[in-house]
Amino acid sequence: MLRSVVFSFPPHEDAVLRLQAATPVDTLWDHFLPAEVKLLPVELAAIDTLLSDPTLLTPFQTRWQVIHSGALPREGRPTIPMATYLRIMVIKNKYGWGYETLLREISDSLHLRRFCLIPIVDAVPHESTVRKLTRRLGPAVVQDLIRGLFAKAIRERRFRPRALRADSTVAESDIRFPTDSGLCADGVRLLAKRARKLVRLMRKQGELTVRDRSRSVGRYLRELTRSLRKRTGEAKAAVQRLTEKASALLEKTIREAKRVVSAAQATAAHVRRVSRRKALTVLENTVVLAEKVVAQVAERFQGKKIENRIVSFADPEARPVRRGKLARPNEFGYVVQMAEVTQHTQKGARGLLLPPKLRAGSTGENALLSDTVRELKSLGIVLRESAFDAGFHPEQTRSDLKDVGADAYIVGSTNAGSRRTRRRLACYRVGNEGRISHLKREYGAGRSRLRGTAGAEIWECWVAFTYNVDSLARNRFKVERPKKKKRAQRSA
């Protein structure tokens, strides 16, 4: 006799949004495992204790209400437990794994399964589930998680904010080095590909055509590469001639793609389905970007200044960044400001990172500092000292920091205090250079694998959250004063 099975969720959770796992981590099979296997390593055990606080999961519920217009949905496929997702993302940023490698390693490791609250009898979430959930939740959830860690550190770990050091760096976009001819080649290829897809969905393959001119543009690119070996004057003339030819081919492809767009808009009945409407929107956006690339090529050879330059079709929001570095004068992506709040300014100071502030293209230090100060005010943090490099404007910086009560030390400007105080703050500021290098090397802060301004902000916020979790788990906020050496007693 068959019985109907009713799946029920805990009454305190929503049927769609799951904060905690319904299945306990310890199952019957765990009793047959050795005791050593069930013990987490010291580092993971400390992080596990820190992340066990249920108040850290509140931002997920708040964000879910925002996504669904203030109400939690009661119908639909349940999410993976948010407690599991949070720990998966910490492991990802801590060890620098991609989504596929990350879930494969968790599936094969008993320790990582136990840390992520996944029983050995349950399947590990698919990598696409974690990847899409990261995009859907956005940077707001991670920023609230960082604020929750600050509140927890002040409330439970006796973290007393005293000093601030902030500096900006470049979060490079995950694109190749852009050139005008390369952008023309990408535009020709993408327009032909996306126009063919829309024509196929409209079922008008014989009526509308967009020629793929990738081979012709590729021939110009190879000829351009060979022309660079010529003398300077001849090479410049050849580069201009071949780049303009590639731009002309892109213009022809744009005209053909516009005809496809016009036909799709005129026959609205053929684009009602979600896939067709999406294909039409993608093609329209690609046409707009391609037209900007054509305009950029013309402005470049006319000697005009190019505003808001497009550097990639894959990441249209990325912009050139000039930071004055001799080795890498031009970078492409976003400027992000890392601000660390510490308890002291002595050697080896380690604190907590505020939610990173990020903008596309070359951005001034003070433009991001105002956002950082607002973050300090929202957290209720009052400081005594702060240190910045010469990129910060002295008057504006000191004016912004009045609201949080911090005296600003700025390299290269007139600073108050004794010589010993100025030297201490100078050494404290230099430590921020090492902190940014540490974040790039250990947590992957230097290059965002998520595209777009929102993607780069998500990436940098998870870096800051993982660093703060490591700092709190290791409890590295104690002031370690050097022991004074006893003077040798003089012999009588």
Residue 211: helix, strand or coil by DSSP?
Answer: coil
Query: Each residue of 313-332: b (16+ CB within 10 Å) or e?
Result: bebbbbbebeeeeeeeeebb
For 142, residues 6+ apart whose C-beta sits below 8 A from its C-beta are: 355, 458, 461, 462, 464, 465
The pLDDT of residue 72 is: 62
CA distance 310 to 315: 9
Among candidate residues 186, 171, 168, the one with its CA nearest the CA of residue 319: 171
The DSSP element (H or E) to which 7 belongs, if any, is: none
Q: DSSP character for 54?
A: G
> What are the CA-CA distances from residue 157 to residues 47, 182, 184 (Å)?
14, 53, 56
Contact assessment for residue 67 and residue 112, using Cβ atoms and an 8 Å cutoff: no
Q: Where are the domains of the chain?
A: 28-138, 157-175+317-474, 180-301
The pLDDT of residue 486 is: 53
Contact assessment for residue 462 and residue 89, using Cβ atoms and an 8 Å cutoff: yes
Which residues in the chain land under pLDDT 70? 1-15, 70-76, 205-206, 268-272, 476-492
Among candidate residues 88, 85, 51, 68, the one with its CA nearest the CA of residue 14: 68
The DSSP element (H or E) to which 428 belongs, if any, is: helix 419-443
Residue holding tokens 């956006």? Answer: 285
Alpha helices in 349-418 (DSSP H): 365-379, 394-401
Q: Any bridge partners for residue 447, and if so which?
A: 172
pTM, two decimals, is 0.88
Helices 180-202, 274-301: axis angle to 10 degrees equals 160
pLDDT digits (tens, 9 = 90+) for 3-58: 333 333 444 445 578 888 877 888 877 788 888 888 899 999 999 999 999 999 99
Q: Which amino acid is at 164?
A: L
* CB-count exposure of residue 448 (10 Å: 0-12, 13-18, 19+): buried
- Tokens found for residue 168: 């900006």
Tell me which CATH homologous superfamily contains domain 157-175+317-474. Ribonuclease H-like superfamily/Ribonuclease H (3.30.420.10)
Residue holding tokens 């030819």? Answer: 245
For 239, residues 6+ apart whose C-beta sits below 8 A from its C-beta are: 224, 227, 228
CA distance 468 to 435: 12
The pLDDT of residue 295 is: 95
| Number of neighbouring beta carbons within 10 Å of residue 187 | 29
The pLDDT of residue 76 is: 67
Q: Which amino acid is at 254?
A: I
Contact assessment for residue 392 and residue 170, using Cβ atoms and an 8 Å cutoff: no
Contact assessment for residue 439 and residue 339, using Cβ atoms and an 8 Å cutoff: no
The pLDDT of residue 205 is: 66
CA distance 242 to 234: 12
Cα angle at 140 between 67 and 442, to 5 degrees? 135
Q: DSSP character for 31?
A: G
